[in-house]
Amino acid sequence: MTSSASRPGLPLALYALTAGAFGIGTTEFVIMGLLMQVSADLQVSLAAAGLLISGYALGVFVGAPLLTAATSRLPRKAVLVALMILFTVGNLACALAPNYTVLMIARVVTSLAHGTFFGVGAVVATHLVSEDRKASAISIMFTGLTVATLLGVPAGAWLGLHHGWRATFWAVAAMGVVATLVIAWLVPSEKRDANPPAFAAELRAIARPQVLLGLLMTVLGFGGMFTVYTYIQPLLTQVTGFADAAVSPILLVFGVGMIVGNLLGGRFADRRLSAALLSTLLGLALVMGLMSFALHSRVAMIVFTGLLGAAAFATVSPLQLWVLKQAGAAQSLASSLNIGAFNLGNALGAWLGGVVIAHGAGLTRLTWVGALVPLSAFVVALIAVRVQGRTSTARQHAPVRVARDCA
């Protein structure tokens, strides 16, 4: 794939990937604002409608590595275009679903495009820019996901409220058509690798301790964030005392924080990856810990909701770039697995928060418990960085020792 290192600014192909990320981010989260309409229309319980979220997340976690492995010998541009077609067809099936079972199947089919698109797309993004801009390229692509949370999801929820939930999925399918055309037009083609790594070799690369530590960091980092964010509505209304109508505007603050944190995290990671990894994870733990003291102040909670979004998404590019750098020839598979790890963290965080509430600790303990999870990710990162440093030092001194032995 051609590099854009010699050109000023960032290539347009990078923004084509961002468009795809926007559509996928919208379809993942928009269902949260449509649960009541889906429940009423398909005559299922609200809890059953909520499983449409879990089914999607499970599809991402399981489907990402399988689909990435199945397409590993294909040109990455062709894979991206095919994934956007799958995404579009899946959303059309959602819009036309005659019952709950078909809708669930369509959601899972759609989710298969998610992990592999972000995984392969992150690799393509890093190949579009010079070495010193790789993390920024990843953050630009993931901006599509953050903007989807900020704009796409509220717009989809409004459309579903006024025109029915099916109209939202028709609109998302239209996004898929546009994204498919833009990616096909702007993303440069690459020559197929004549000797791609065997799947067994990719699995051995994934099994490297540094890759596994990176995946664990991702699960723990986002697990902590979703321990709190999953229950942000009751925190704001039942603890802080906001009216229900105030929740949506406050969540916009969270979305703005996501965008800012995502871009800053990418720039920081380009300069010093290890430092960015450690500081962003520690920063996320500190924000949630300090948030515990802001729960009863309306102004402070608005500020900390924005800080939570910024701190959480500042970790995305460092985490993704760390896994890519450690994976060697298995970058696409490792990248897709890391996207699955983000989703696994989401699911585990929501579960952990529910356990805290169910066992009587109450909503006010969520931030304390949530802070401990990225703090454990920071410890894992500290171990990984130190091991990496020792390995690099050993490699640097190896020729010296060989020369002495020969002498």
**Sequence-separated (6 or more) residues with CB below 8 Å from residue 230:** 349, 350, 353
Buried b (16+ CB within 10 A) or exposed e, 76-86: bbebbbbbbeb
CA–CA distance, 90 with 105 (Å, rounded to integer): 9
Confidence band for 47, pLDDT divided at 50, 70 and 90: low
Q: What is the mean pLDDT of residues 296-300?
A: 94
User: Which of 4-8, 131-135, 189-193, 330-334 has the highest mean predicted lDDT (pLDDT)?
Assistant: 131-135
CA 114 and chain centroid, separation: 10
Given a contact cutoff of 8 angstroms between Cβ atoms, the answer to whether 264 and 314 are in contact is yes
pLDDT, tens digit (0-9, with 9 covering 90-100), for 319-356: 988 988 888 777 777 877 888 888 888 878 878 888 88
Which has more pLDDT, 339 or 392?
A: 339
Question: Angle at the Cα of 262 (from 260 to 264), degrees rounded to 5?
Answer: 65
Q: What is the mean pLDDT of residues 306-326?
A: 90
Return the pLDDT at 46: 66
CA 281 and chain centroid, separation: 15
pLDDT, tens digit (0-9, with 9 covering 90-100), for 82-91: 999 999 999 9
Confidence band for 5, pLDDT divided at 50, 70 and 90: very low
What sign for the dihedral angle of Cα 270, 308, 209, 128?
A: negative
With a pLDDT cut of 90, the percent of the chain lying above it is 33
Question: Angle at the Cα of 367 (from 361 to 371), degrees rounded to 5?
Answer: 120
Confidence band for 284, pLDDT divided at 50, 70 and 90: very high
What sign for the dihedral angle of Cα 326, 329, 330, 331?
A: positive
Residue spans of beta strands (DSSP E) within 24-105: none
Return the pLDDT at 198: 64
Q: Is residue 72 scored above 80 in pLDDT?
A: no
Output DSSP code: residue 43: T
Confidence band for 199, pLDDT divided at 50, 70 and 90: low
Q: What is the mean pLDDT of residues 368-375?
A: 95
Q: What is the mean pLDDT of residues 243-257?
A: 83
CA–CA distance, 257 with 146 (Å, rounded to integer): 9
Angle of helix 247-271 relative to helix 134-147, nearest 10 degrees, comes to 170
Please give the structure tokens belonging to residue 147.
Answer: 């903007």
Place of tokens 């960085």: 385
Q: Phi, psi (5° rounding) for residue 189?
A: -75, 155
Mean pLDDT of the chain: 84
Which has more pLDDT, 306 or 129?
A: 306
CA–CA distance, 333 with 327 (Å, rounded to integer): 9
Return the pLDDT at 250: 84
CA–CA distance, 337 with 160 (Å, rounded to integer): 32
Q: What is the mean pLDDT of residues 46-60?
A: 78
Q: Which domains does the chain have, with CATH numbers?
A: 15-189 (1.20.1250.20), 196-407 (1.20.1250.20)
Return the pLDDT at 2: 42
CA–CA distance, 119 with 64 (Å, rounded to integer): 8
Q: Is residue 140 scored above 90 in pLDDT?
A: no
Which has more pLDDT, 233 or 222?
A: 222
Return the pLDDT at 398: 54
